Amino acid sequence: MISIAWKSLRNRWPTALLAVLAIAMSVSLILTVEKIRRDARSSFTQTVSGTDLIIGARSGAVQLLLYSVFRIGNATNNISWESVEEIRERAAIDWVIPLSLGDSHAGFRVLGTNLDYFNHYRFGEKRDLQLASGDLFDDVFDAVIGSEVAATLGYKIGEQMVVAHGTGSVALVEHEKQPFRVSGILQSTGTPVDRAIHVSLEGIEAMHVDWQNGANVKGEGTSADAVRAMDLKPQAVTALLVGLKSRATVFRVQRAINTYRAEPLLAILPGVALQELWNLVSVAEKALLIVSICVVVAGLVNLISVLLAGLNERRREMAVLRSAGARPAHVFQLLCIESTVLTVLGIMAGLMLHYLLIGFGSLYMQEKFGLTIALSLPGRTELLILLSIAVAGLLAGTLPAAQAYRKSLADGLSQRL
């Protein structure tokens, strides 16, 4: 029966091909959506590890997480340097990484920090940052750039860059009088670090020496040597990444920061804030899943339509099979085998299309959204999805099979006028 079903499908290959393509597209869509959803969560989760608290101006937990870790959005206010020093001196605090945001270069965020960032920042399974070439900044106008910045802009060690005021992709106001020099390039991490330009906190202050009230003072042009001789102690920073000596004190320290009297501050646990973020986007995830399921259903309906449409043309074929000794059960089995073969071929083609989309689309996702989507074998969830589609394809063939089962031998041999 399998041989007969295969030969029958070969004789009707145009309609069979359409059914296979419909199933392949639906399989590819639902697998790709599931893959992106899972890897997006994993990519976000692995962006920062080993950080116990994130501190920023009082706003929302998700907003603080997005602009401090993922460089998305902007802070509502800054943290005064006096508060930073007071927090650093607390007995429960092990280390503090100050972050200063607000400038950019060619669409990439500029992050002001200190050397503690490279000593304590962790990502993934507590992996530390490593240099691919060059050195960390030891001069006011040195910059350490991420791997994606270097690859996109083609920067090498020693090249100069001009930082722009603001975070837009179009540079309207530039700090052209205080250019920075690329001193180091970081190894790829698959996190927002790859798309960041790291400078010292003193460098952030240096580029704003000739600025007052957020605007450049005309005629001012302090030389680089004169800037280096100045007191470049920062006045404020955007956020803090904090590590504690004991995680058992995390809630006590968080409560103390949230009730800080000197200025309104907010301390969040990265994992808890991430969970809030997933709760916010869960509606979109469910909507994508529903759309994918609808596409799968549409592919199966197309399969049923192809089999039903072909029944009238195959009346004599069925009658010949019956006259040659085939029982109604054999005809039923034949139609079920055909639907199963079409579904399996559709699943195989869908897997190939899925891997092509992931292979080529992962580069775009990494460049535009910073999401690391890696090729991998189907996991347990994907295998369950494929098995469900295969069973659904078999069940879809039972409707035309049942109709063919009821066809009599005389119906197939009679001439309809």
pLDDT at 112: 95
For 44-79, b/e burial (b = at least 16 CB within 10 A) is bebbbeebbbbbbbeeebbbbbbbbbbbebebeebb
pLDDT at 121: 94
> 344 and 303 in contact (C-beta within 8 Å)?
no
Region at 400 (left for phi over 0; alpha for psi -120 to 50; beta for the rest): alpha
pLDDT at 96: 96
- Round to whole Å and give the CA distance between 196 and 68: 12
Cα 72–Cα 106–Cα 230 angle in degrees, nearest 5: 90
pLDDT at 82: 95
Tokens of 314: 């195959």
Q: Is residue 271 classed as helix, strand or coil in its secondary structure?
A: helix
- Round to whole Å and give the CA distance between 347 and 337: 15
The helix (run of H) or strand (run of E) holding residue 258 is helix 250-258
pLDDT at 315: 61
Q: Is residue 223 classed as helix, strand or coil in its secondary structure?
A: coil
pLDDT at 294: 85
pLDDT at 417: 43
pLDDT tens, residue order, the chain (417 aa):
667 667 766 777 777 788 888 888 888 888 888 888 888 777 777 788 889 999 999 989 999 999 999 888 888 899 999 999 999 999 999 999 999 998 888 889 999 999 999 999 998 778 899 999 999 998 999 999 999 899 999 999 999 998 887 665 544 566 677 789 999 999 988 888 999 999 999 999 888 777 655 555 554 567 777 877 888 889 999 999 999 999 999 999 999 999 999 999 999 999 899 888 888 877 877 887 888 888 888 888 877 777 776 666 666 666 666 666 666 666 677 777 878 888 889 899 999 999 998 888 777 776 666 566 777 888 888 888 889 888 888 887 777 767 666 664 455 455 454
Closest to 272 measured CA to CA, from 61, 47, 44, 40: 61
* pTM of this structure: 0.73
Cα distances from 195 to residues 50, 190, 329, 364, in angstroms, run: 21, 9, 63, 14
Q: Is residue 176 classed as helix, strand or coil in its secondary structure?
A: coil
Phi, psi of 183 (to 5 degrees): -105, -20
Q: Is the dihedral of CA 64, 69, 70, 73 positive or negative?
A: positive
Phi, psi of 66 (to 5 degrees): -65, -45
Closest to 352 measured CA to CA, from 27, 11, 14: 27
Residue type, 365: M
Residue type, 320: V
> 307 and 397 in contact (C-beta within 8 Å)?
yes
Q: Is residue 340 classed as helix, strand or coil in its secondary structure?
A: helix
Q: Where are the domains of the chain?
A: 2-44+282-413, 53-268
Closest to 305 measured CA to CA, from 41, 19, 104: 19
How does DSSP assign 35-103, residue by residue? Answer: HHHHHHHHHHHTT-BS--EEEEESS-HHHHHHHHHS--S--SS-EEHHHHHHHHTSTTEEEEEEEEEEE
